[in-house]
A and B are shown apart, each in its own frame.
Chain A
Amino acid sequence: MRDTGVWLPILAVLLGFVGFCEVELVRRPARYLPKLVWALIIVVQIPLGGIAYLVFGRDERTRGEQVCGEHGRDDQTRGELTRDEQARDDQTRDDQARGEHGRDMWTDAESAPSALPTADPGRVPVVIRPRDAALPTTAIRTRALTKVFDSGAGLHAVDLIVPARGVYGLVGPNGAGKTTLLALLAGLRRADSGQIESESRILLCPDTPAFEPWLTAAETVAAFTGDRPASVMVSDALARVGLADERHRRVGRFSRGMTQRLGLAVVLASRADVLLLDEPTSALDPQGRSDILDLMVALADDRAVIVSSHILADVQRIADTVGVLRDGRLLYQGSVSDLLDQHTRPSWQLHLRSGGPALAARLAGQPWVAGVSQTVGGLRVDTTSVRAGETQLPAEIAASGAELIALNPVGADLESVFLNLVEAGS
């Protein structure tokens, strides 16, 4: 019993193991049980207690390290995005009204504004880099793609054509089948029938990507880049999404916004020909969202980028082609400009001091009026043609005796077109 050759190895292993577990317990937050309980388990039940702690109770983060917000405001900003979006959309309508239904912004690269100032998210959504939508080759083509779930939801005979380059915006209400379509294209689900024709390498980045929490940001990007990634490529990808300073930080300590940026860095560094991005900016603040939208446009220079998003202003801003899904059916597919041209209804915003109800009743009986709705401080009037609105609307306002403050044409935006399409489809 006194032989040190017997006891020394056992004691060394026991003490080393218990000591390691306790140190880890002090350094990191514990999962499932309070630290004190884990500490007792580790000591009382050697070695199973320590093993149970290492496998189940050990957290990746070290003590004192909070999940940091993106520039300290990520979580707060997320809740404010809805209000920001509303304000942005209102501003959009007002700004677009200054042009003739906003259509002059969708002509060609020369006449369109060259770029949206990224620091001002409240400006008009415009196509930053209009491209020829009729590209010679396609990255993905589906024929009668069908996937029906037990509930009846799913996709029904979707014929998708994704150009080899450019941004393809996939929009639709919740449950329209966007995520199912992306999963089918990525090979993560099998279709019931139909075909997917593609020889491209496809990478899917979900809306809230997840990574191994014990890898650093640089290691994460490198892991999805290939066997021998150039470190400059990894650094460049991280720098372009604003994570250059976080490259040696473990991903388990990233906020949701930072994780989403990291997902885009992975996408950026990958050599995939087709990128499927599901709600890629949903967790970003307005500045970050604007930067990432620019990045997506840049990515689309030499590959196809399919973006699924609920933020239609973003889709309108970056997409060359748009597909509108509803109830698993593709209602529209084509260039954004064609969509706006074909589905925009001339509309006018009247700001009135008084006489709104009387004017509304008068307009409702006119054959050139497609619709009248009350808005805050006035009326919104849809007309059957632009000319009818320009020539007959002022006369009716005058005849009704309403006191007019302002009369503005409402610009065409993807959101109103989308709502029209979806309502018509239902």
Chain B
Amino acid sequence: MSLWRVEWLRLVRTSRWIALVAVFLLLGLGDPLLTRYLGQLLRGSTGDTYIHITVTSPQPSDGLASYFSNITTLGTLVVVVVAGLAFTIRANPPLAMLYLTHVPRRSRLLTPRLVTVAVATAVVALLGGGAAAYETAVLIGAPTAGRTAAGVAISAAGMVFAVAVTFLAAALLRSQVGAIAVALGAVFVVVPLTDLIPGVRHLGPNAFNALPVSLQTTSWSTDDTWSTLVTAGLAAVCVAVGLWRARRWEL
């Protein structure tokens, strides 16, 4: 049995796939619904008092933007946890001994894990995006196909970036908690902080993560191309450094 099948079984038998699917699907189905009835919910909560709330009627882009905005945080959180559990091989030294002496090169052990988690993440991100588009079309109106497709694809790519960051964290740290914490810190703290650096505000992963939302109302710009390239490059660097670090692992 190949290590690719082992990774597939890891995803299926540990029920982690259900956690992934549940988050993306529920947010995909729920966020457009919330957007559609947000005005009524707010009015209902305030009652007929002196507070008067005016909510503009939602547009299809609002439904998708709501989904992309939420999935960037909640989806990333779940993806990092699932990926961290899969990548921290050294957290279980006796098992790591067998794995690491079984394969001639450590990349042969890590590549199936990385690819399986990345593909699973991308697939559920596409699934969630599809669910959001469906619900938006039913409730609010048909969204623009091109913008929707671009948003869903970029959202999936953003999740893969989080996987790559987690891969690097797991290559650097032994413990599952430590690797997951560092990866979350990198994605939710370090990446947004790069906005503070003059000149790179619109060129980094943070701008890339905001693209699915902004693309629903604006057009693609040169900065967007740069942020995409920079994010892809950083993801590649994370994977390359992670593999290099794994070659130097000691138990």
Contacts and interface: CB of A to CB of B under 8 A. Distances in A.
A6 B31 CA distance: 12
B2 A215 contact: no
A14 B26 contact: yes
Interface residues of B, number: 45
A189 B251 contact: yes
Contact of A55 (B33, B81, B93): B81
B15 A54 contact: yes
B64 interface: no
A47 B22 contact: yes
Interface residues of A, number: 50
B16 A55 contact: yes
Given A50-B22, A212-B10, A227-B2, A205 B15 contact: no
Contacts, number: 122
Interface in A47-102: 47-48, 50-51, 54-55, 58
Contacts of B100: 186-188
B229 interface: no
Contacts of A387: none
A188 B97 contact: yes
Interface stretch (B44-52, B131-139, B202-210, B232-240): B131-139
Contact of A223 (B6, B131, B251): B6
**Overall SS of chain B's interface:** helix
Given A189-B250, A189-B251, A214-B13, A202 B1 contact: no
B26 A54 contact: no
Given A223-B1, A223-B6, A209 B94 contact: yes
Interface of B: 1-3, 5-6, 9-10, 13-16, 18-19, 22-23, 25-26, 29-30, 33, 37, 74, 78, 81-82, 85, 92-95, 97-98, 100-102, 104, 131, 134-135, 138-139, 248-251
Interface of A: 1, 3, 5-6, 9-10, 13-14, 17, 20, 24, 46-48, 50-51, 54-55, 58, 183, 186-190, 201-206, 208-212, 214-215, 219, 222-225, 227, 229, 263, 266, 270, 272, 276
21 contacts: A6-B33, A6-B138, A20-B18, A46-B26, A55-B85, A189-B251, A203-B101, A204-B101, A206-B93, A206-B98, A210-B95, A211-B98, A212-B6, A212-B9, A223-B1, A223-B5, A223-B6, A224-B102, A227-B2, A229-B1, A270-B102
